[in-house]
Chains A and B, each alone.
Chain A
Amino acid sequence: MRKLLALLVAAVFAVPLYVAVVNVFKDGPLIAKSPASLPIPPTLANIQAALGRPDRLFWVSLTNSVIVTALSIAILTVLSAMLGHYIARTRSRWTRALTLLLLSGLMIPPQVILMPITQVLRALGLMSTVPGLVLFNVGYYVPFGVFVFTGFIRAIPVELEESAALDGATRMQTFWRIVFPLMRPATASVLIFLGVWIWNDFIDPLIILGPSQGTTVTTGIYRSIGQYQVDFGAMFAMMFLATLPVLLFFLALQKHFVKGLTGGATKG
């Protein structure tokens, strides 16, 4: 009974997902006429159309998204793990102020900072460039990383580090050889969440990379819907292809995802 009801509710909920998938494999006219029908016979024409666009929109976007996301999360992990360690292991008025400043960054909407950001990046000569977007991502998402790592490091006994220091290891060595390997779950959380967020990000690449300079997968899709004759089949195909990596990533790491999300929800 409960199973039946649950299945029914989930089926209704999943209608948009179903529509998004079946239309990838249907011919253009059929998409408009009967969006919900099964794709019989299925066609790969839409996927070929999306992949074979003369402006290579999909490939360019995919390359940019991969580079931006990979660089951003790699740098973010290193910087926020170290900053998180500093905050967790130092007690002073200055650290408390720093923590408060960083925590307030968790709720700052990008709209508040994007206008000056364009000036800052222009001054650095990085406006409309991939490194500019990566740097912005690092600054904007560092509070989240620090938040996750600080909480985790507090749970690691400090004695471990003290004994390493007695053995003559420098702070840096202790951190990278002993502490960092212990933080794998926190690192996983940071990589997963920031990876998905940055991959899906729309407004920041739209403003920072600009409409014509380069697109990520999200701004690429946006650009393809802005054109006059929208080929819905190709658009659905492009959305499907752009979502596939993040979806597979999620399905593979689902357990970590949920664990990372619910860490604070239960307060054991």
Chain B
Amino acid sequence: MQWRNTSHTYGAVARFLHWSIVILIIAQYVMAEAADELPDGLAKLEMVTRHKSFGMLVLVLALARIGWKLANRGLPPPVPMPAPQRIAAAAGHGLLYLLLLAQPISGWMMSSAANYPVTFFGLFQFPALVGANHDLHETLEEVHEALFGALVVIAVVHALAALYHHLWMKDDTLRRMLPFARPRAR
């Protein structure tokens, strides 16, 4: 197995980080919706607590992904692309990374503003990012939801772009990030 990225494909680490984040974010949405439906009580506390722990896991994985990308330098584009398309791709990826960090951080701040602890699956407690503040909590709740909306939009564009490359351009853009796919023989 190739751990590191090569000039023509992503290594196992980058693929693992990419897809684990995708799965976790879908799970995060499911947990948040489930928690919203529950009345105030132990079940809701459990659900929200899991959502927060997994959110911190997303933050850790997103930081690892960005760190790994910087340490591995980005891949060259699979096919020569016109400059606007290349710039759009870079901007889209930059925005995705930004949202992957902003989303959990806004949740963390939201929890701190409501004077609730944020832990990593109960193993240790993260420090409060802001002091308890009711109005700030309300604002951050809206920010957290709005950021998720933005993340969905950018992620859908990202997936459509990958499909466009795969189905239309018939290049390796999608294939090199799929969990078990190998690049086409050249």
Asked whether A and B interact, the reply is no
Chain A: residues with CB nearer than 8 A to chain B? none
